[in-house]
Amino acid sequence: MKYFITTLFLSLITPFLFSQECMNSEYLKKGTQWEITSFDKKGKNTGITKHEILNASHSSNKSLWEIKTQLYDEKDKFLHDGTIEVICENGIYKIDMSQMIPAETMKSLESMEVEMDGTSINYPTEKDVNTQLEDATITISASTSGISIMNMKITTFDRKIEGIETVKTDAGNFECLKITEKTKMENSMMSRESSTISWFLPGFGVVKSESYNHKDKLTGSSELSELSYK
How do the pLDDT tens digits run along the chain, 230 residues long? 333 332 222 222 223 233 346 766 789 899 999 999 999 999 999 999 999 999 999 887 789 999 999 999 999 999 888 899 999 987 789 998 877 776 666 667 777 888 889 899 999 888 889 988 999 999 988 888 888 888 889 999 999 999 999 999 999 999 999 999 999 999 888 899 999 999 999 989 999 999 999 999 999 999 999 999 87
**How far, in Å, CA of 145 to CA of 54, rounded?**
36
**How far, in Å, CA of 129 to CA of 179, rounded?**
9
pLDDT computed for residue 12 by the predictor: 28
CB 76 within 8 A of CB 96: no
pLDDT computed for residue 18 by the predictor: 32
Rounded (10°) CA dihedral 204, 210, 216, 218: 170
What the chain holds in terms of domains, given with CATH numbers, is 8-228 (2.40.360.20)
pLDDT computed for residue 24 by the predictor: 66
Compute and round to an integer the Cα radius of gyration of the chain.
18
CB 92 within 8 A of CB 1: yes
pLDDT computed for residue 9 by the predictor: 25
- Give pTM, 2 decimals: 0.83
Helix (H) or strand (E) holding 104: helix 103-108
> Can you spell out the DSSP letters for 14-73?
HHHHHHHHHH--SSSSTT-EEEEEEEETTS-EEEEEEEEEEEEEE-SSEEEEEEEEEEEE
pLDDT computed for residue 5 by the predictor: 31
